[in-house]
Amino acid sequence: MKAIRTVLACIRKADQRYNLINHGDKIMIGLSGGKDSVALTYALSLYQKFSHTDFVIQPVMLDLGFPGFNPYEMNKFCESLGLKLLVVDNTEVYRILQIQQKDKEHLPCSICSRMKKASMNKVAKELGFNKVSFAHHADDAIETYMMNTLFGGRVASFSPKMHLERADITFIRPLIHVRESDIIKLVKEENLPVLASGCPANMHTRREDMKLLLKDIYKKWPIAKDNLLTMLSNYEKEDIWGKEIYHQINQDGLTLKPVISSMDMMHVLDIRTKVFIQEQNCPYEIEVVEKEEKESHHYLIYNKEDIVGTIRYRQTGEREFKIERFAILKEYRGHEYGKKAFQYLVNKISEENTPCTIYFHAQYQLMDYYKSLGFIEEGETFIEADIKHIKMLKKC
């Protein structure tokens, strides 16, 4: 089978599984000139014709300032597809990377990646595009998973689709099921133009080490190649320890459970509804509809098998942390569950981040209670959610 059929079939599979492309979408394609982005541009120009979805695509090439940048071949390539290439001046990126490199072996890849995504995001917003398409493929996803596992201590890879709420832009990766070998075959069969990378770190990164490691694994255990890709979306068989974590506050069964599932979050919102909205008449939109949810670390407070309350914290500055939405259900008050959980979280934050400052907005009538936990008041009282508050902090 010709590679283009395989690639298009994989794009259709990803589109249908992850709902990547819809009617009316204006999709900006990040075209670097490498084999992956060239294959993506070519394949999406064909997918656009037979997918029965009405969407438009716009290839964009960033001039990052690397030596030897020349968009001429990519201009001709896009014209052959009936597209007009947009070249955006981002030459300051290379200068910033050189400054950030310092005594490192090569330019910092993570900073470069973030800056490129930010640039694409900015251009998309300015031109009215709602989606940005990147050319990361299946093997990229597995390599990222391996790097996060071995060097980051976490089970993670990039997503097929990610919505940025503040920018209202969605990143999509239509090649998420496409193997790199099929991309190489496609470029060869269709005689697609590919530019040499202008990055001096090319072929000398940790990702290249992962490619070699995986190559050895696949040679020894061929079945691993398909299984590693299947694993990334196999939610039915997912079974890791994260959901079993209950931080032990004491030996009587009081624990602090990280919120990691939608069901956990439902319990959090139920508690806040009962305590803040029903008991204290706080506005619904303040307690339940929030923009900073993803930035916060949420916890449920358990006493043995019973959920008795909730608490959360988030980082608000350099070594500065704010505790928020601390609530104990009415029927469980008077047992010091909240006091012990609060103190445990304060100690946990301070142990992991010392030195640091921990603060929160305390309801004024509870000021003495929090003083007993080592906090001091700062500034004047203020009204928050129609309740008198005061800022209290502790330097650890």
pLDDT, residue 291, reads 46
Find all residues with CB under 8 Å of 197, minimum gap 6, and list them. 34
The CATH class for the domain spanning 3-237 reads alpha beta
- Record the pTM: 0.77
pLDDT, residue 81, reads 96
* Structure-token match 């009962």, residue found: 274
CATH 3.40.630.30 residue ranges in the chain?
Answer: 243-395
Find all residues with CB under 8 Å of 54, minimum gap 6, and list them. 23, 24
Find all residues with CB under 8 Å of 115, minimum gap 6, and list them. 90, 93, 96
CATH 3.40.50.620 residue ranges in the chain?
Answer: 3-237
pLDDT, residue 293, reads 54
Query: Along the chain (396 residues), what's the average pLDDT of each consecutive run of 10 residues?
Result: 94 95 95 94 95 94 78 94 89 66 59 75 89 96 94 91 86 97 97 81 76 95 96 86 91 94 91 91 63 76 96 94 94 94 95 94 87 90 86 92
Find all residues with CB under 8 Å of 304, minimum gap 6, and list them. 253
pLDDT, residue 17, reads 94
Q: What is the CA radius of gyration of the chain?
A: 26
102-107 long-range Cβ contacts below 8 angstroms, 24+ apart: 105/204, 106/200, 106/201, 106/204, 106/205, 107/199, 107/200, 107/201
Nearest to 127 by CA among 119, 135, 136: 119
* Structural fold of domain 243-395: Aminopeptidase (3.40.630)
pLDDT, residue 108, reads 53
Other C-beta atoms closer than 10 Å to the C-beta of 337 total: 21
Helices 180-189 + 138-152 axis angle, to 10:
150
Tell me the backbone φ, ψ of residue 58, rounded to 5 degrees: -140, 105
Other C-beta atoms closer than 10 Å to the C-beta of 48 total: 17
Sheet holding 320-328, edge to edge: 247-248, 254-258, 297-303, 306-317, 320-328, 357-363, 387-395, 376-384
- Report the amino acid identity of residue 324: E
Other C-beta atoms closer than 10 Å to the C-beta of 17 total: 12
